[in-house]
Structure 1
């Protein structure tokens, strides 16, 4: 009987200790996201992860509006425009300015004479300049009407009350296989902007369209709003106690650090998901290079949920239709 009473007492003291630990983590998250446009949270919720594990997550609802800069521009309007009038595009690991010269040289750039994004007589670039045209051109099966267009969607196309809610495990639940980032995205940046999976470049190029990112590596779709496909110098990280800056949290709960260390070098021991374990730092990721079109290649642990519906109960084991 004494042993049973002692065990019960130890369990009663363990529960508050765990609660205190979790609340400490929530306070850390509040500090980490203090420069994001947070609508609610972070708060503790129950969740079911992509592998079916039921655990505790934190939930945070944000507007995808970086506070330190204004997103854009994306598409130049003339083949005489300088780089300041357009964004960037990625090819074979390199970042290219989408200026007027880039647009006029696409047939050479891709060795395909079908490319013709501009009017030969006026030099005007064909740009999706309405919400309807952006949605028709930005989908995976590009509307043929918008072949040979520079595709951009503007932040003002989003409803004023549009938000995204991220439900991410407090403690990563490792798996024995790499997990795709397609549906959940890679994670959430320190400024509240979604760190997405790779852009569907093959589908974009198949329609002879270009969907540039701005100089900060982001562009807009009308489901998740402004989001990143590349991490550039625009994203200021926080000191995460390691030799690189912490720029976000992956959808599986592991931290994401900058591509380069503070000394300007890149880690040379990353696994296929861009992660590694270090003394004192445990396992964590480093964002891919800006030209890689892969902030993370995959996730090492079970992912949580990203949803336009702040009231959705997170069950990531059920494949979502959006985003």
Structure 2
């Protein structure tokens, strides 16, 4: 990217369309994400461990990852579900964010796009674009091999966190019983 002064950036942004979108379009439903139990059917995940691939979150998947040293459930077969906004302090959680219906996103779309001189390497959860349905498109989720936690997607490959972040200021998910949510406090290092 060329080196620009603050004034040049201001001029550049005036040549963009500014689009503000709601968290979710009206009458748009998402999910499922994390199943409640080993016998329930959840969304999907892009597993990057041994036997990497796109998997449905079901009993067969949980058995496969258990052979790799991951235990995402308790002794009764209940899936460990944590909300990324709460900042899980342990591993082996299926991550499912709570909805924030008050959130808005702003996208700046160049009126006259210019081809980049070189490709840009995408970082984890980098915002890539905006779909015609006003839903953000993001790069890859954090790896379970790095975090120990599994980011769940719905069956269309979407996830519920509008910012694509693994932590945030929105309230934690409240639609699951408190006994199923892991109590956690973000750790500052």
TM value normalised by structure 1: 0.42
Report the Cα offset of residue 55 of structure 1.
6.0
Structure 1 stretches of 4+ moved >6 Å: none
Give structure 2 stretches of 5+ with no counterpart. Answer: 1-6, 166-189
Give the Å deviation of 1:154: 2.1
CA gap of 1:59–1:184, structure 2 versus 1, over 3 A, is: farther
Q: Structure 1 residues 220, 152: closer, same or farther in 2, change over 3 A?
A: same
Give the structure with the larger strand fraction. 1
**Matching residue of 1:100:** 59
| Distance change (3 Å), C-alpha of 1:196 and 1:207 | closer
1:196 and 1:224 mapped to 2: Cα distance? 9
Counterpart in the other structure of 1:72: 31
Q: 1:134 aligns with which of 78, 84, 95?
A: 84
Question: Aligned-pair distance for 1:136?
Answer: 3.8
The whole-number CA distance in structure 2 between the counterparts of 1:220 and 1:75 is: 11
Q: Which has the higher helix share?
A: 1
Q: Is the contact between residue 47 and residue 55 of structure 1 (CA under 8 Å) also seen in structure 2?
A: no
Q: What SS does the aligned partner of 1:218 have?
A: coil
Tell which structure's C-alpha radius of gyration is larger.
Answer: 1
Alignment partner of 1:60 is 2:19: yes
Distance 1:47 1:212, change over 3 A: farther
Conserved 8 A contact 1:55-1:169: no
Q: Indicate the residue corresponding to 1:162 in structure 2.
A: 103
**Equivalents in 2 of 1:186, 1:193: separation in Å?**
11
Query: 2:175 maps to which residue?
Result: none
- 2:45 aligned to which of 89, 96, 99: 89
Could you say which residue in structure 2 is the equivalent of 1:174?
Answer: 115
Q: What are the equivalent positions in structure 2 for 1:1-323 lying under 5 Å apart? A: 48=9, 56-67=15-26, 69-81=28-40, 83=41, 86-91=42-47, 94-108=53-67, 112-113=68-69, 115-120=70-75, 122-128=76-82, 133-137=83-87, 143=88, 145-155=89-99, 158=100, 160-182=101-123, 185-201=127-143, 204-221=144-161, 224=163
Matching residue of 1:288? none
Cα distance in structure 1, aligned partners of 2:137 and 2:39: 32
Larger RCO of the pair (alpha carbons < 8 Å, separation 6+): 2
Q: CA deviation at 1:169?
A: 0.2
Query: What CA RMSD, in Å, does the superposition of the two structures yield over aligned residues?
Result: 3.0
Q: Deviations over 1:244-264 (max 9, x none)?
A: xxxxxxxxxxxxxxxxxxxxx
* Equivalent position SS for 1:167: strand
Q: How far apart, in 2, do the equivalents of 1:90 and 1:127 lie?
A: 17
In structure 2, the CA distance between the partners of 1:118 and 1:62, relative to structure 1 (3 Å rule), is same
Deviation at 1:190, TM superposition (A): 0.4
What is the TM-score when the length of structure 2 is the normalising length? 0.69
Where does structure 1 lack aligned partners over 5 or more consecutive residues?
1-45, 138-142, 227-323
- In 1, distance between residues paired with 2:31 and 2:154? 5
